[in-house]
Amino acid sequence: MTAKIAGIGAYVPERIVTNDDLAKIVETSDEWIYSRTGIRERHISTGEGTKELATEAARRALLASGVRPEDLDLIILGTSSPDHNFPSDACGVQAALGAVNAVAFDISAACAGFIFAMNIVQGFFMAGVYKTALIIGAETLSKVTDWGDRSTCVLFGDGAGAAVLKSSEDGGILDMVMGADGTKGSALSCTSRTLGNFLLGTAPQTGFMAMDGQEVFRFAVRKIPESVELLLKKTGISRQEIKYYVLHQANERIIEAAAKRLGEPMKKFPTSIARYGNTSSASIPLLLNEMQGRGMLEKGDTLILSGFGAGMTWGAVLLEW
C-alpha cells in the first residue's frame, strides 16, 4: 500500500507586505530583494496563529478530498513556528476539525517538514497501521523574525498548506529519501525564548531566527540535485518521465541552480516564491495547491517534491499524482 494524495488545500493570511513596505523599516530595496531571491511580496499574519492557518488549510484539503474529519486516522503537522511548546498545534487542529479518531502530533524538520510528514505517513500505510491521514505544513515565522535584521526579515512569509492522503494499491508515493546533518545546525537556527534562569543568573533570550545565508544556499544547491538523482536511480525512472519538480520555495536562484545541475529546463520547476516568500514547511503544499488550481496536474503525472532546511534536513518524494 502507498500514500496517495486525495485532496489538497492552502491558506495564507490576508495581509500582504511588499518589498517596498520592508524598505520602510530596514535598509533594503525591491531591486535587492527581487534580484537576489525572486521575492516580490509575502503574506504576514496580523493575529492568526500557526494553528488557525493550519486548520483552514486542512478544512480546504478535506473538502477537496471528500474525506470527513472523523475518518482521519492520523494528523501530522510540520512546523518550526508552533503557537505553543505544548500542546502540539496538531492536537489543536484535531480539536478544531473534530477529527475525533485521529492521533495527532507535530514534527520539527523545518522546511523539510511537509516531506518528512508525507514519508512518515507512507511508512504507516506500508505497515498497514493507518489508512487515512492529514498532513500539514504551517508557519507563522513572522513571530520569530527579527524585523531589524535585513538579512533574514525580507525572506520569510506566513502560510499553510495541507494534503489528505489515502492508502492506495497503485500510484501515490513510489519512493522517497530523507536525511539530516546536525553538524551544520548553526547555519540556520532559532533559540527558544526564555526569561533566564534564576539559579544561574542567565539573561533572557529573545528567540529570533539567525542564518548563514551563503552556507544554506550552498547546502541546498548540492542536496536538491543529489536527492533527486538518488530517487531516479532507486526507481529507475528517467528525467524525461518527470513532469514537474516541486521544490521548497526558499530562493529562485537556488531553484535555477538546481535545475542547471540536473540539466532540466526551468519550465519543469514551477515557482510561487514571488508572491509568498519562503513559507518554510508550507511552501511545497502551497505550490501544489496553486498548480492544481491552474489545471497543471493530471492523474498519472510523475512528480518529484523536494525540501531542505534547518537541521540541516532534506527530503524528496517521487510520486504519481
What residues act catalytically?
Answer: 111, 248, 278
User: Cβ of residue 30: shortest distance to ligand UT7, in angstroms?
Assistant: 10
Residue 58 cell numbers, joined: 486542512
- Nearest to residue 290, comparing CAs of 161, 155, 139, 133? 161
Beta carbons of 157 and 15 less than 8 angstroms apart? no
Considering the complex, state which of residue 5 and residue 220 has its C-beta at the smaller distance from ligand UT7.
220
What is the distance between the alpha carbons of residues 140 and 12, in angstroms, rounded to a whole number?
Answer: 10
What is the distance between the alpha carbons of residues 88 and 113, in angstroms, rounded to a whole number?
Answer: 15
Strands (E), the chain: 2-11, 16-18, 41-43, 74-78, 103-107, 132-139, 159-168, 172-180, 188-190, 209-211, 244-247, 302-309, 313-320
User: Cβ of residue 109: shortest distance to ligand UT7, in angstroms?
Assistant: 11
Considering the complex, state which of residue 111 and residue 138 has its C-beta at the smaller distance from ligand UT7.
111
Based on the shown chain and the rule CB under 6 A, indicate whether residue 214 belongs to the binding site for ligand UT7.
yes
| Number of residues binding to ligand UT7, judged by CB under 6 A | 21
Part in contact with ligand UT7 (CB under 6 A); list of ranges 29-37, 82-90, 139-147, 231-239: 29-37
Based on the shown chain and the rule CB under 6 A, indicate whether residue 36 belongs to the binding site for ligand UT7.
yes
Considering the complex, state which of residue 183 and residue 214 has its C-beta at the smaller distance from ligand UT7.
214
What is the distance between the alpha carbons of residues 3 and 119, in angstroms, rounded to a whole number?
Answer: 9
Q: Using CB under 6 A, which residues numbered 117 to 176 contact ligand UT7?
A: 150-151, 154
User: Cβ of residue 29: shortest distance to ligand UT7, in angstroms?
Assistant: 7
Considering the complex, state which of residue 61 and residue 273 has its C-beta at the smaller distance from ligand UT7.
273
Judged on CB neighbours under 10 Å (0-12, 13-18, 19+), 269 is middle
Residue 266 cell numbers, joined: 526551468
Q: Using CB under 6 A, which residues numbered 79 to 118 contact ligand UT7?
A: 111
Q: Using CB under 6 A, which residues numbered 235 to 264 contact ligand UT7?
A: 250-251
Based on the shown chain and the rule CB under 6 A, indicate whether residue 32 belongs to the binding site for ligand UT7.
yes
HSE-up of residue 264 (Cα within 13 Å, Cβ side): 24
Based on the shown chain and the rule CB under 6 A, indicate whether residue 279 belongs to the binding site for ligand UT7.
no
Based on the shown chain and the rule CB under 6 A, indicate whether residue 39 belongs to the binding site for ligand UT7.
no
The one among 37, 145, 227, 313 contacting ligand UT7 by CB under 6 A: 37
Task: Point out which residues pair with 137 in neighbouring strands.
Answer: 78, 161
- Nearest to residue 53, comparing CAs of 122, 136, 151, 127? 136
Based on the shown chain and the rule CB under 6 A, indicate whether residue 281 belongs to the binding site for ligand UT7.
no
Considering the complex, state which of residue 71 and residue 215 has its C-beta at the smaller distance from ligand UT7.
215
Beta carbons of 43 and 12 less than 8 angstroms apart? yes
User: Cβ of residue 280: shortest distance to ligand UT7, in angstroms?
Assistant: 6
Based on the shown chain and the rule CB under 6 A, indicate whether residue 24 belongs to the binding site for ligand UT7.
no
Which positions from 176 to 195 touch ligand UT7 by CB under 6 A, shown as an x/- string? ------------x-------
Part in contact with ligand UT7 (CB under 6 A); list of ranges 31-39, 61-69, 99-107, 297-305: 31-39
State the helix-helix crossing angle for 252-262 and 30-37, rounded to 10 degrees: 20
What is the distance between the alpha carbons of residues 254 and 242, in angstroms, rounded to a whole number?
Answer: 19
Which residues sit at the interface with ligand UT7, rule CB under 6 A? 28, 32-33, 36-37, 111, 150-151, 154, 188, 211, 213-214, 216-217, 220, 250-251, 278, 280, 309
